[in-house]
Structure 1
Amino acid sequence: MDFAKRLYQRFSSLVHELAKFGSIGAIAFLIDFGLLNLLNVVIGIGPLTSKVVATTISTTFAYAGNRFWTFRHREQSGLRREYFLFFLLNGIALLFGMLTIGFTTYTLNLHDALSFNIANIVGVGLGTLFRYWSYKKWVFMEATDPIPVELPEGGVKPGR
């Protein structure tokens, strides 16, 4: 029992961060998945165009969720810089989805909704691994100074 407690204490911040990242990612996935199927299967827009549009919208949600909840304890290096890097890295991660959907649709010649969605899920899974690693490394960097959890004794003094 003591070993489990020490293990949890050592990795608790990582576990919490991964849980938050996963929650935001799950909601972003639902947005992406729903829009992707609406655009491609229901409306009939091409599979790759549908993927780009759905990913752009779900990425905007994911940025806000990750910046202001998952990685809020990390240093902020400027909204423009973070937003640019976030979308650049998501653009790279989008390639995983584009490749799996393109391969399934145009190389394997599978045009049914099930094959389309399986390809999307595989691409999202690969992209998620890349995104988590790259967000921590380049977008939401580790704070150089500890970020205070609460206000100091006496609160904030007026005029400062």
Structure 2
Amino acid sequence: MSSAPAPRSRWRVLFSEFIRFGLVGGVGFVVDVGVFNLLRLTVMSPENMHEGPVVAKLISTALAIVVNWLGNRFWTFRERRRHDVLRESLEFFAVSIAGMGIGLACLWFSHYVLGFTSLLADNIAGNVIGLALGAAFRFVLYRVWVFGDKRKHSRSAVEIETMGKTPSVS
């Protein structure tokens, strides 16, 4: 007998994780867009700082990544989180930074190559197209790599080394 969950159960789990990922991402989106626009309209406007839109996007996305890590670790993938928090968080941030690169590339290309420099164009490029492409990329890698089934039960080297050893009683 196989211990694998029934196919219908797997689809339910996937759908549930996808919905929770979307809700967590929605909170991260509000943080990202809110901070981006606040910075883009004030201290990091193109009139004040040539690279302002890209720097504002870096800052806003970094804050959203922290919000998303907390939400995904403790809610979306709570059954999959690992005991090795440092490694899990480093992997999560690596995937998030790659996803951020997708959004930044969309914003950079639109703003500096195509010349669409309005606030609306920057938001469409960075906060619609870039976030949608980045979100798809992140969901797949979070689910398969960071919080993957084979990784959730991984043990640290210390745990493996001490397995099977019984404490000595003096």
Check if 1:128 corresponds to 2:98.
no
Judging changes above 3 Å, is the alpha-carbon distance between structure 1 residues 127 and 12 closer, same or farther for their aligned structure 2 residues? same
Check if 1:137 corresponds to 2:144.
yes
Corresponding residue SS for 1:94? helix
Q: Show the 5 A alignment for 1:10-159.
A: 11-45=11-45, 46-120=52-126, 121-142=128-149, 143-144=152-153
Q: Percent identity?
A: 33
TM-score by length of 2: 0.76
How far off is 1:139 after superposition?
1.0
Q: CA RMSD in A?
A: 1.9
How far off is 1:15 after superposition?
1.2
Q: Which moved more, 1:6-15 or 1:129-138?
A: 6-15
How far off is 1:11 after superposition?
1.6
* Number of residues of Structure 1 aligned to a counterpart in Structure 2: 140
In 1, Cα distance between the equivalents of 2:11 and 2:96?
Answer: 27
Gaps of 5+ in 1: 1-5, 146-160
For 1:110-144, what per-residue CA distance to the aligned partner results, in whole angstroms no more than 9, with x for missing partners?
21111011001100010001100111122112145
Gaps of 5+ in 2: 1-5, 46-51, 155-170
Q: Which runs of 4+ in 1 moved over 3 A?
A: 6-10
Judging changes above 3 Å, is the alpha-carbon distance between structure 1 residues 53 and 10 closer, same or farther for their aligned structure 2 residues? closer
TM-score by length of 1: 0.81
Q: Which moved more, 1:41-50 or 1:30-39?
A: 41-50
Q: Which moved more, 1:26-35 or 1:132-141?
A: 132-141
In 2, Cα distance between the equivalents of 1:78 and 1:56?
Answer: 22
